[in-house]
Homo-oligomer: A and B are copies of this chain.
């Protein structure tokens, strides 16, 4: 029934992927024990439909070598370290072997004694890895760039800062303990010394989205429940249609992968805080306490966009965020949102520098994020209270199948 162009046909193609070893995210372990490990190997990368962990450290790297062999070697080392760290082991020894402490440690030590804490490490490749802004095919992979990894257009009101946007490779580290997420990113950076350089990095202190029906909906810094109408891990059919790249969608190396869009969205919380509750609810299109769509009673009731209030006006305003973002007005397009709240100190003008680090996964950004954000950027009542200051687009390959596989192997062989 969804109007996502080609969803029917692609849904059928995606059916083939069901035969793959599908990563199913260790839901039960996570739900019961925030210290537990999430499996690293699988058909899909962990950290996408894994129930959103509480904390984030996101990093974007520039590749500073021109040698493909060095890059591939790094991806192999990174994969091995990620397989270790996600299972609660160190990236390497904290001292050199045999107690001869003359070498720099292979692990930085700050996670010693801590449990795995649900750590997931999810890698993505940016457009500039395939071809530089100057058009150079750096690693002989330009012809493998998926059409779906088309540079995002400039949206209305974009206020992007290039120095905290883009990147050749990203890693999303999520965990229930921020020390674990920071430790993982820091050790990947350490291992990558001389091959990659940190371009930008972002801490998220609290998850906004839930990605599983086992999770309670969390709140963003506007005080609203966020993630109610999200894609959830328990809807495999929808995920095949909307989230996972299917065979035939583009180059084979992305089959079973997904595309990630990141947007750092500054919230003008001081302005928001002086807005009345009624106004806030009208802007979002849901009420604040329960999180129900206006005109509905319960959080998970389907919004009724045709309902009108006593004054004859639509219960959910024409410029309300949830109306404009809803699949009904976006050709059936949906997203798996996986964002985090952030506070980066203050802005020098007496205000907290706070907002939402928006992360969304999807099968094709052109039909999903770009379509929705084009509409939102023009009409969303929320725009008065937010500024998009950073943007990222990454192709996240399928999962690593085992110890002899590595992140992105199919792209480089």
Contact partner, A288, options B94, B104, B346, B348, Cβ 8 Å: B94
A221 to B341, CA, bound (A): 23
Cβ contacts under 8 Å, A109 to chain B: 219, 222-224, 288
Cβ contacts under 8 Å, A101 to chain B: 276-278, 281
Cβ contacts under 8 Å, A384 to chain B: none
- Counting chain B CB atoms within 10 Å of each CB, the highest count among A109, A197, A203 belongs to A109
Give a binary string over A62-73; 1 marks a CB under 8 Å from any B CB, 0 the rest. 100000000000
> Which of A182-190, A227-235, A320-328 is the interface stretch?
A182-190
Cβ contacts under 8 Å, A201 to chain B: 343, 345-346, 352
- Counting chain B CB atoms within 10 Å of each CB, the highest count among A57, A198, A275 belongs to A198
- Counting chain B CB atoms within 10 Å of each CB, the highest count among A199, A206, A277, A351 belongs to A277
CB-nearest residue of chain B to A114 = B219
Give a binary string over A164-194; 1 marks a CB under 8 Å from any B CB, 0 the rest. 1000000000000111001001100110010
Contact partner, A104, options B216, B276, B289, Cβ 8 Å: B276
A114 to B208, CA, bound (A): 14
Contact partner, A202, options B95, B206, B345, Cβ 8 Å: B345
Cβ contacts under 8 Å, A346 to chain B: 59, 198-201
Contact partner, A112, options B219, B280, B341, Cβ 8 Å: B219
Give a binary string over A369-380; 1 marks a CB under 8 Å from any B CB, 0 the rest. 000000000000
- Asked if A401 is at the interface (CB within 8 A of a chain B CB), the reply is no
- Asked if A33 is at the interface (CB within 8 A of a chain B CB), the reply is no
A185 to B189, CA, bound (A): 32
- Asked if A16 is at the interface (CB within 8 A of a chain B CB), the reply is no
Contact partner, A94, options B96, B163, B200, B277, Cβ 8 Å: B277
A343 near B182: Cβ-Cβ < 8 Å: yes
- Asked if A110 is at the interface (CB within 8 A of a chain B CB), the reply is yes
**Shortest Cβ gap from A69 to chain B (Å):** 22
**Shortest Cβ gap from A263 to chain B (Å):** 15
Cβ contacts under 8 Å, A85 to chain B: none
- Asked if A108 is at the interface (CB within 8 A of a chain B CB), the reply is yes
- Asked if A55 is at the interface (CB within 8 A of a chain B CB), the reply is yes
Chain A stretch 250-283: residues in CB contact (< 8 A) with chain B: 269-270, 273-278, 280-281
Cβ contacts under 8 Å, A289 to chain B: 94-95, 112
A67 to B310, CA, bound (A): 47
A277 near B352: Cβ-Cβ < 8 Å: no
B108 near A197: Cβ-Cβ < 8 Å: no
A185 to B220, CA, bound (A): 15
CB-nearest residue of chain B to A55 = B205
Cβ contacts under 8 Å, A269 to chain B: 108, 186
Whether A274 touches B104, Cβ cut-off 8 Å, given contacts A223-B94, A345-B164, A345-B203, is: yes
- Asked if A354 is at the interface (CB within 8 A of a chain B CB), the reply is yes
Give a binary string over A352-367; 1 marks a CB under 8 Å from any B CB, 0 the rest. 1010000000000000
- Asked if A405 is at the interface (CB within 8 A of a chain B CB), the reply is no
Interface contacts beyond A101-B276, A109-B219, A109-B223: sample of 4 additional A-B pairs, CB < 8 Å, sorted by A: A105-B276, A109-B222, A164-B345, A178-B206
What are the 6 tightest A-B residue pairs by CB atom distance, in nearest-first order?
A109-B223, A197-B350, A101-B277, A178-B205, A101-B278, A95-B277
Q: Which residues of A contact B (CB under 8 A)?
A: 55, 57, 59, 62, 94-96, 101-105, 107-113, 163-164, 177-179, 182, 185-186, 189-190, 193, 197-203, 205-206, 216, 218-224, 269-270, 273-278, 280-281, 288-289, 341, 343-346, 348, 350-352, 354
Q: 7 pairs across A/B with beta carbons < 8 Å?
A: A101-B277, A105-B276, A109-B219, A110-B341, A164-B345, A178-B205, A198-B350
